Amino acid sequence: MRAFVLHGKENLRREDLARPRPQPGQVLVRVRRTGICGSDVHYFRHGRVGNFVPKRPFVLGHEFAGEVVEAGVGVTGLEVGMRVAIDPSQPCGACRHCRSGRYNLCENMRYFGSASCDPHLDGGFAEFVAVPARNCHEMPAGMDWGEAAMLEPLSVALHAALRAGPVAGRSVLVTGGGAIGQLVALAVRALGAGCVALSDPVAFPRRFAAEMGADAVIDPADPASGQKALDLTDSGFDCVFEAAGSAPALAQALHVARRGGTIVQVGTLPPEVPLPANLIMTKELNVLGSFRFAHVFPMALQFVASRRINVAPLISQTFPFEETLQAMARAASKDNVIKVQIES
């Protein structure tokens, strides 16, 4: 089969690999659409994502959907020809985090297209992927491939939204207007948030957020941005979701969150981050992390299927499989783009 294999920084190669065979409990999925995530771009541009450093070449891509072409022994409920969206999480089910229900923190997690596990698990930048049957979610008739490939990042956004607790009627600021930030804004709106604002130093994501229904957009480079953020609320935002992976954005979050408010860190930050950390103490802020997701993939599917959340406008451009390198360059450019996908 055809695949694009990451060999290191700026080194993504088109190769012919052996077509996988489904093991017991697995199905073979013919990949139809794969989204390029910020982590894929990080692997390509920097050769790593945070502490996840590849030890050997592997296939990127964890946002994908396709059709079942073969079933392994013991598979029930899935038939050849069925269209499925893939949950890329494969927790061990036995560690303390899995037993407590927080399987996204699994100490032995295997994740498609990620170097976080060893051996690395090849992902969706390939024609075929062998997938556990339990990770396959049947797509409803009205859902297209692009929407199905958006379910994984939407799950990340929904998990972050739920980490903050009930958001109904609350004021929310999202810092960072990339795909995850835009999806967080849509997720909190779908969950009943009151005022939803988005902050980004680039004009395009601000315009996009406004077109998607944000109540306000903020340019953090504007000297008056802090006051503007506070003017949108009585005394600061109830919840701030930091989705930019930016130290200045997190500092902004600490300033504009109300006393007793909640900050959810979604973006990947640099290793060393200077912060006005005393604000956490003096404002009694709740600062939470949000990593991947747990238990929300079916919710994401239902929200998209019911059109409660419309993810289609976030798909900026789709490239044919053979143009994966061009697709990666487009995603990495961040030039008037939210989400780039690959079709095969």
Residue 227 has pLDDT above 90, yes or no: no
Q: Tell me the domain boundaries of the chain.
A: 2-150+311-343, 157-289
pTM of the entire predicted model? 0.96
CATH code at 2-150+311-343 = 3.90.180.10
Distances (CA, A) of 15 to 234, 235, 278: 57, 56, 52
Residue 79: left if φ>0, alpha if ψ -120 to 50, beta else—which one? Answer: beta
* Tens-digit pLDDT profile for residues 324-340: 999 999 999 988 999 99
* Tens-digit pLDDT profile for residues 83-131: 999 999 999 999 999 999 999 999 999 999 999 888 999 999 999 999 9
| Residue 60: predicted pLDDT | 97
pLDDT (average), residues 259-266:
98
Confidence of residue 21 (pLDDT cuts 50, 70, 90): very high
Residue 109: how many CB atoms within 10 A of its CB? 21
* Tens-digit pLDDT profile for residues 200-225: 999 999 999 999 999 999 999 999 88
Nearest to 208 by CA among 179, 250, 238: 179
* Tens-digit pLDDT profile for residues 268-307: 888 888 999 999 999 999 999 999 999 999 999 999 999 9
User: Do 2-150+311-343 and 157-289 have matching folds?
Assistant: no
Say if CB 283 and CB 263 are below 8 A apart.
Answer: no
Residue 50 has pLDDT above 80, yes or no: no
Average pLDDT, the chain: 96
Confidence of residue 49 (pLDDT cuts 50, 70, 90): confident
pLDDT (average), residues 131-135:
98
Q: Which CATH architecture has domain 157-289?
A: 3-Layer(aba) Sandwich (3.40)
Q: Report which of residues 239 and 53 the model is more confident about.
A: 239
| Residue 247: predicted pLDDT | 94
Q: Report which of residues 230 and 196 the model is more confident about.
A: 196
